[in-house]
A and B are shown apart, each in its own frame.
Chain A
């Protein structure tokens, strides 16, 4: 299968030793991306959370018990398992930044992309999006509202990327050479503990480039070959071990 490369590769690095699992990233994501409030949120398998925070545990009893929180946006894979399976070309990996996008008006809602994604990063609109009266005023104007019956996903807030490029153009700067803080997704901006970092993974001047190259950095399910643009970072060996399906005999990455 073809591997999509791009000159700019927007990526995220999450320091799991700093993440407190507060969920601010989830809330910011929902508000920014016009995700309608769910009438009954008790069914967690039906709710939409482009950004989901998983709780990881080392499985040991107190006092050795330890937990970590792992925020999971769409991994924006270099080799997206969702893209090639879509029968109607509703998914594309943008060559200008490497963001996997979804064309909602083209999606037929077959959910094959959901079956293909090992990260459960794809969601289906089970219900009509309905906002309580007055709350529609909080909608982000340049993010499309998705109808019932289509699949959707995190886009790294690529509308903010478009805005940043427009601003750069207006200021006479090169829109393809943005500064590190010109384009920041809502989840990263909202993170109170400074655990989330965003930037160009191909640019050595960006923090994410440096962090992604550190020995404690890892990606989820690396051996499957999806080549995610989201990196995680943890000095705790057991956390890194849960990044991929390590066999008992295998040595953990970064150890």
Chain B
């Protein structure tokens, strides 16, 4: 292999030809997405499937979903560096990379999603302190910076780069201060995960999303935090499994995987308990107060009740039980199934909170509208997935991400 010197010592990687073939496949989606981005930026958002009813669509669902799924980074960092759960060192690098990919990807989509991308910095220059979105803008950009700071030492640990004396010491010093960044990241991430939930919870003109709450926060603020930290570790498990399947290697030991599943399950149980209470309070309190009934909140297949029941039961209660009960968790097939259901439930939640909220006709004489994303939105969303696959592939091939890989495959 021509890149042997760059590959971490003692581990096996596929041939460069095979690797390039994979990158070419990823490149197809990157290219399509870049074309979509060019069309959108040059011709405006009229090229998307969004309209006056659905100012928020696939991109926002995608953003909120990846930000929730990327929460494994801050929460695992919190458990590893602040609460000192040492075993998580076997998976912490992976969570950091996933976090970075999710957040940087979300920011790329946001640049496309605003009508005036060149004014993106106005959030800092003319901030509205009453807007939850302002807090999101501040926290998401700051936290992305923290994730870059956490990712850089991993890159510097590449075999060739690490031979450079300066880079070696730089990486070492980054590691020394990592608990500090983990703490900052936890603080920032906690608030913006909450603010993302708060963004919809404060929409008092939209009874589907509106919630009353605690102090200045609607309780969706807390539900979003809880759901993100419940799904983040599950998503890390799924990415890890996908990498194991693609590489044919064992990358993380079973004990660590089961610990992540247990953490995810306990948090999901906590979240789903409050989510069910929230749904009950919404249906019996907030909706009648707005003159609406539970049945009026749903429409057809696109916005049907099946979404709610799937979210709460099939993707909430059931995976929570599966992940919490040790006997089920230890059967890895079921563990991954539960992790998949958990992540699916969170994606459904982010979809209904944004798109269904817009679709619901609040005025009595208004009608339901159904939103269908078009190619421009799909191509750019898939571009972010491809970008994630590209960076993850390069990171896996050239960086020592998994401390136990050598031992597990010897």
Chain A residues closer than 8 Å to B53, beta-carbon distance: 45, 120
In angstroms, Cα B291 to Cα A122, docked, is 23
Residue from B52, B125, B131 within 8 A of A86 (CB atoms): B131
Chain B contact residue count (CB 8 A cutoff): 50
Within 8 A of B (CB), among A53-89: 54-56, 70, 81, 84-89
Which of A171-179, A202-210, A245-253 interfaces with chain B? A245-253
Interface string of A170-202 (1 = CB under 8 A from B): 000000000000000000000000000000000
Partner of A126, one of B44, B125, B204: B44
Segment touching B, from A18-26, A93-101, A111-119: A111-119
A122 to chain B: which residues have CB within 8 Å?
52
Contact B365 A89 (CB under 8 A): no
Q: Are A116 and B131 closer than 8 Å at their CB atoms?
A: no
Q: 9 closest A-B pairs (Cβ-Cβ)?
A: A109-B115, A149-B115, A111-B55, A245-B291, A118-B205, A45-B51, A126-B46, A87-B133, A114-B55
B260 at the interface (CB under 8 A from A): no
Known contacts: A116-B203, A126-B45. The answer to whether A88 contacts B130 by CB under 8 A is no
Q: Mind listing 10 A-B residue pairs with CB under 8 Å?
A: A54-B366, A85-B132, A88-B119, A89-B126, A106-B122, A106-B126, A109-B45, A111-B115, A147-B116, A244-B291
Residue of A at shortest CB range from B135?
A87
Which one of A4-12, A134-142, A222-230 contacts B? Answer: A222-230
Docked-complex contact A111 and B365, CB < 8 angstroms: no
Q: Is B156 an interface residue (CB 8 A)?
A: no
Residues of A within 8 A of B354 (CB): 115
Quote the shortest CB–CB distance from A222 to chain B (angstroms). Answer: 10
In the complex, are the beta carbons of A88 and B122 less than 8 A apart? yes
When the two chains form the complex, which single residue of B123, B203, B207 contacts A88, counting CB atoms closer than 8 Å?
B123
How far apart are the CA atoms of A246 and B128 in the complex, in Å?
35
- Interface status of B248 (Cβ within 8 A of chain A): no
CB neighbours of A45 from chain B (8 A) = 51-53, 369
A108 at the interface (CB under 8 A from B): yes
Let me know if B363 and A119 touch, CB within 8 A.
yes
Bitwise, A19-36 to B at CB < 8 A (1) or not (0) is: 000000000000000000
Q: Provided the pairs A89-B128, A247-B291 are in contact, do residues A114 and B203 lie with their beta carbons within 8 angstroms?
A: no
Q: Which residues does B use to contact A, with CB under 8 Å?
A: 44-46, 50-53, 55-56, 113-116, 119-120, 122-123, 125-128, 130-134, 136-137, 199, 202-207, 288-293, 354, 357-358, 362-366, 369
Which residues of B lie under 8 Å from residue A149 when comparing CB positions?
Answer: 44-45, 114-116
Question: How many residues of chain A get a CB closer than 8 Å to chain B's CBs?
Answer: 56
Cβ–Cβ < 8 Å partners of A226 in chain B: 204-205
Out of A127, A220, A245, name the residue touching B290 (CB < 8 Å): A245
Question: What is the predominant secondary structure among interface residues of chain A facing chain B?
Answer: loop
Residue ID in chain B nearest A113 by CB atoms = B55
User: Are the C-beta atoms of B366 and A120 separated by less than 8 Å?
Assistant: yes
**B114 to A109, Cβ gap below 8 A?**
yes
Whether A242 and B126, one on each chain, are in contact in the complex, defined by CB atoms closer than 8 angstroms, is no
Write out the residue numbers on chain B whose beta carbons fall within 8 Å of the beta carbon of A1: 130, 204
Residues from chain B with a CB closer than 8 A to the CB of A70 are: 365
How far does the alpha carbon of A243 sit from the alpha carbon of B363 in the complex, in Å? 8
Which residues of A lie under 8 Å from residue B137 when comparing CB positions?
87
Q: Are A223 and B289 in contact (CB under 8 A)?
A: yes
- A87 — which chain B residues lie within 8 A by C-beta? 123, 127-128, 131, 133-134, 136-137
Alpha-carbon separation in the docked complex, A56 to B134 (Å): 38
